[in-house]
Chain A
Amino acid sequence: MNLLKRLGLAASLTLATTAGVATVIDHAHAQDKKLKVYLSLSYSGNSWQSEAANIVKALAQTPPYDKTVELKEVISGTDPQAQISAYESMIQDGADGIISFPISSTALNRTIHRGCQKGVLFFMYDATVTEPCAYNVSYITAGFGENSAQALVNILGGKGNIFLSRGVPGNSVDKRHTDGAMHIFKQYPGIKVVAEYYSYWDDRTTQQETAKALAAHPDVDGIWAQAGEYGAIQAQLDKGNKLVPMTGENSDGFRLGLADPKMQGMGLKGVSAGSPPATSGYAFKLMMEILTKKRELKPMNVEYPLPWVPADQVKPCKGDTFADGCNVFPSDKVPSSFVTEVFNPELLPELSLQSALEGKPTPGASIQPLPADVKHAPDAPGINCSSCKAPADEYKLTKIEPTVKP
């Protein structure tokens, strides 16, 4: 090969690499008057993250925001340093607002503080930061752990061997959920946690970890799972035709399973609750109302309602939105790992399935104003505030009553 050819190949490879470095930037038509908003993700690659990002992208293209907002998306990677430098560049670039899924609840604080001083609005969705000048919008404080744990205890009649399928080790969200759940489980001496494993909020990891746990404890009576729960069902089906009651998050596969008479016949019962990707849309609309001076709101922690769908309330959707109280899509429309909670008829009527799947605006939709009231989230030390105390009724049940006595 001659030198020229070599150089050419080298150049094209370098180009391909540069283009591929995990930074995807969406350019709206740049105009001078447009508000400059950044969407900062720590990573992408699971359905939840991309749905949440797609919702924001769809809303930013829905009239009138399509003419007034320039949204740029930056995916920085799974370490806090990468997100810190991404924030720094956005602040340098004169961002009006940054909407973000933060990778750490504390590591980004200094940069956020600097940005606030320069007049940048920071909105965090789902995951939170403890920096007081940022807005946190999250369901975390709404009690997923304790409510789902109580639901499982009720189904099991207060006794049995259970697995805990957890999230990412060391993550504050996983800790909050598990602490809430253990607060309930510890009240029932008949409930025994025989295996506890980290499933990284991923279906496939959950399936493999559950398969391992089943090898050691085939006599399990119930599973308390965080996101990835559909993998736990698959692991049980791999073993035979027996399913145990379980609680999990909002995957389409899990909800369809809860309502499927065949799986119910094998023993599946439970509740679907947990983290809704729609939170990002609510956070974005709140931020835009503040940026366009339609709302005055000091930095605060906002609580997003916890989705709560017991088996008998699962209702398949006929169309592409959550109409008539439906809450799950048929399996030919979305993959089983799709997180169903992408809509909210009251807060986010602008969205359709295409918004969540492809980031496209719903034809004919325009941005509707949010309700005036915003729900204040309780303090959660290390999660949404640093020097604060959790309320005494931190783990109060809100969705379900105990039906068995401890």
Chain B
Amino acid sequence: MPFEASSDRRGRQKLDRETVNTLLVFGLSIVLIVCSRFISPALGSWSQVLTVLILASFLVIMSFGQGLVILIGGLDLSIPALITLGGVLTTTWIGTADTGVWYMLPAILVICALVGAVSGIGIVWLKVPPFIMTMATSIVVASVALGYTSGTPRGGSPSALLWLMKSWFLGVPVVIYFTLAFILLGWLLQNFTALGRRLRALGTNRNAALIAGVSVNRLELVPYAISAACAGFVGMMLVGYSNGATLRMGDSYMLPSIAAVVIGGSSILGGSGTFIGTVGGAILLTTLGTMISAIGLSEGWRTIIEGAIIVGALLVLRGEFLTHIGNRMLTRGK
């Protein structure tokens, strides 16, 4: 190909920082899985990889939404409440009877998205800081769910969600295919659509985006709505996974959803980051969790080690010097 033959390598010799970071996150996950054999001989097996991927699928989907919000410089603290909302509405409105499952599932996602859009409206037009606005939404939604269920969410999982979370195809759980498709779509949306580019422009410099003709106010609602819908969907997945909803089902996902995004190479201040990196961050965090829980140490030590590895990984990944080393090796190789 003529392009390949071109002697102009200026654009190609520089490894993009985001790409390096993404490769490193995935590399680190693989190293962790291989090393985990030293902890227990059963680890490092195909079965463990599948366990990690299933557990990571929740985090991957949630972090897509959180990642978009962080990309525009915001933060979504309403994720746990929306996971609960999605889960509770699914078990009470659809339940094991599969009442109108094909239109109710999308309808519930739309409700979640609308709740997210309300947070967005508060942030854009009432100028409430994202932190406070999403926290307020979270409290309201959680309280509504508590009042609506009087504390005990009834019903079980619709069969469609059981199929998604429990069935296998060609030796691999269906949910893994689903997550791969989601990753592909998310990546295309963020990198190859006008919406994705506008969001990045908005996160990099709001005024510049405005001058460039982006309708920034309306655009800013979108990530919050997507994030809420993603959280609602994770609620549905959790319903299929554990065949029921609880009011605290989302609690443990708040910080990991932010951590996955940041470890994946995004700036917490917005404007940079890729979804593929976030996926790597989610897998890395889940691998670490699985490995740590197999170490026969007391809970205190396990969480200390987990924390230390996360900080260490972030330091290594952030280091500009790795990009330099990468570039140097490329130049020498040629």
**Please, which residues of chain A bring their CB within 8 A of the CB of B143?**
19-22, 24
Chain A contact residues, CB within 8 Å of chain B: 1, 6, 9-10, 13, 16-17, 19-22, 24, 44-47, 49-51, 53-54, 169, 194-198, 202-205, 207-209, 211-219, 231, 234, 238-239, 331, 334-338, 357-359
CB distance B55 to A208 under 8 Å? yes
Interchain CA distance A359-B91 in the complex, whole Å: 21
B38-46, B104-112, B308-316 - the one binding chain A: B38-46
**Please, which residues of chain A bring their CB within 8 A of the CB of B51?**
211-212, 214-215
Q: Name which residue of chain B comes closest to A170, CB basis.
A: B299
CB distance B244 to A24 under 8 Å? no
**Please, which residues of chain A bring their CB within 8 A of the CB of B152?**
47, 50-51, 334-335, 338, 357
**Please, which residues of chain B bring their CB within 8 A of the CB of A13?**
122, 126, 136
Specify which of A16, A45, A213 is in contact with B151 (CB 8 Å cutoff): A45
Chain A to chain B contacts (Cβ below 8 Å), 28 pairs: A9-B125, A10-B126, A16-B140, A20-B139, A20-B144, A21-B139, A22-B143, A24-B147, A46-B248, A47-B151, A47-B246, A203-B244, A209-B293, A211-B51, A211-B54, A212-B51, A212-B289, A212-B294, A215-B42, A216-B39, A216-B40, A216-B42, A217-B294, A218-B42, A234-B241, A335-B156, A338-B152, A358-B150
**Please, which residues of chain A bring their CB within 8 A of the CB of B142?**
20, 22
Interchain CA distance A295-B176 in the complex, whole Å: 62
B328 contacts partner chain A, Cβ-Cβ < 8 Å: no
Interchain CA distance A214-B55 in the complex, whole Å: 13
Q: Which 3 residue pairs spanning A and B have beta carbons closest together? A: A50-B151, A216-B294, A45-B247
**Please, which residues of chain B bring their CB within 8 A of the CB of A51?**
151-152
CB distance A216 to B48 under 8 Å? yes
B63 contacts partner chain A, Cβ-Cβ < 8 Å: no
B249 contacts partner chain A, Cβ-Cβ < 8 Å: yes
Apart from A24-B146, A45-B248: 7 A-B pairs, beta carbons within 8 A:
A22-B146, A54-B150, A212-B51, A214-B51, A216-B39, A234-B243, A336-B243
Q: Tally chain B residues at the interface, Cβ within 8 Å.
A: 52
B215 contacts partner chain A, Cβ-Cβ < 8 Å: no
Q: Which of B1-60 contact A (CB under 8 A)?
A: 36, 39-40, 42-43, 45, 47-48, 51-52, 54-55
B196 contacts partner chain A, Cβ-Cβ < 8 Å: no
Interchain CA distance A335-B244 in the complex, whole Å: 7
Specify which of B48, B147, B246, B296 is in contact with A204 (CB 8 Å cutoff): B246
Q: Name which residue of chain B comes closest to A47, CB basis.
A: B152
CB distance A216 to B151 under 8 Å? no
**Please, which residues of chain B bring their CB within 8 A of the CB of A44?**
146, 151, 247
Pick from B42, B152, B246, B247 the residue with the most CB of A within 10 Å.
Answer: B152
CB distance B299 to A54 under 8 Å? no
Interchain CA distance A45-B249 in the complex, whole Å: 9
Q: Name which residue of chain B comes closest to A7, CB basis.
A: B126
Pick from B47, B52, B151, B154 the residue with the most CB of A within 10 Å.
Answer: B151
CB distance A217 to B42 under 8 Å? yes
**Please, which residues of chain B bring their CB within 8 A of the CB of A358?**
150
B153 contacts partner chain A, Cβ-Cβ < 8 Å: yes
Q: A234-B242, A359-B150 are in contact. Are A9 and B126 (CB under 8 A)?
A: yes
**Please, which residues of chain A bring their CB within 8 A of the CB of B40?**
216-217
**Please, which residues of chain A bring their CB within 8 A of the CB of B147?**
24
Q: A46-B248, A211-B55 are in contact. Are A231 and B242 (CB under 8 A)?
A: yes
B166 contacts partner chain A, Cβ-Cβ < 8 Å: yes
**Please, which residues of chain B bring their CB within 8 A of the CB of A337?**
244, 246
CB distance from A199 to the nearest CB of B (A): 11
Pick from A17, A19, A21 the residue with the most CB of B within 10 Å.
Answer: A17
CB distance A212 to B290 under 8 Å? yes
**Please, which residues of chain A bring their CB within 8 A of the CB of B294?**
195, 212-213, 215-217
CB distance from A91 to the nearest CB of B (A): 25
Q: A197-B293, A211-B55, A212-B289 are in contact. Are A46 and B299 (CB under 8 A)?
A: no
**Please, which residues of chain B bring their CB within 8 A of the CB of A198?**
299
Specify which of A45, A207, A338 is in contact with B242 (CB 8 Å cutoff): A207
Q: A53-B151, A169-B299 are in contact. Are A212 and B140 (CB under 8 A)?
A: no
**Please, which residues of chain A bring their CB within 8 A of the CB of B156?**
331, 335-336
